[in-house]
Each structure stands twice: as structure tokens, then as C-alpha cells.
Amino acid sequence: MRPDRAVAAGTRIWAAFHLPMAACTGLVSLLLTRCCSGPLPWGLVGTTTTAVYLLGASAQFFCFALRRITKKP
């Protein structure tokens, strides 16, 4: 599949921004499993890591949209 229009280099950089967020969620889940024991981590880890990833992805899209709006022609 090929896009209909050319993709700018800045877009590719922003598209790769999810990798640090995925690493951050892995770190959060590791820390939560080290701190909590018993049945609590089953719900806590899944919910927390999903929230961290979604907040990070939302911040990524917000920054990209803000950059696109403030970019001068």
C-alpha cells in the first residue's frame, strides 16, 4: 500500500514516537508488579499501563496537531 500523497519526514518522526511510550508502559507495569502482590496487579497493571499508553499517544497526536497548526507556510 502506498499513500496518496508524499509523507513529510517530520510525520515519520512523530509516527515513531509511540516506541518510547510503549517502553514507558513496560516500565510502569514492571514497577507495579514489583510493588504490588496478590490479585491486585491483575487489574491494576492492565488498567494503568493502558491509561499511560493512551495518554502518551494522545499527547503525541496533540503535539503533532499543534505543530501543524503553528507551522508557518
Identify which has the larger pLDDT, 33 or 2. 33
Give the largest Cα separation in the chain, rounded: 56
CB 60 within 8 A of CB 21: yes
CB neighbours of residue 66 within 10 Å:
10
d(CA 63, CA 65): 5
pLDDT tens per residue across span 23-72: 888 898 888 888 887 777 778 888 888 898 888 888 877 877 776 666 55
Q: Are 48 and 28 in contact (CB under 8 A)?
A: yes
Q: Is the dihedral of CA 18, 20, 25, 29 positive or negative?
A: positive
pLDDT at 20: 81
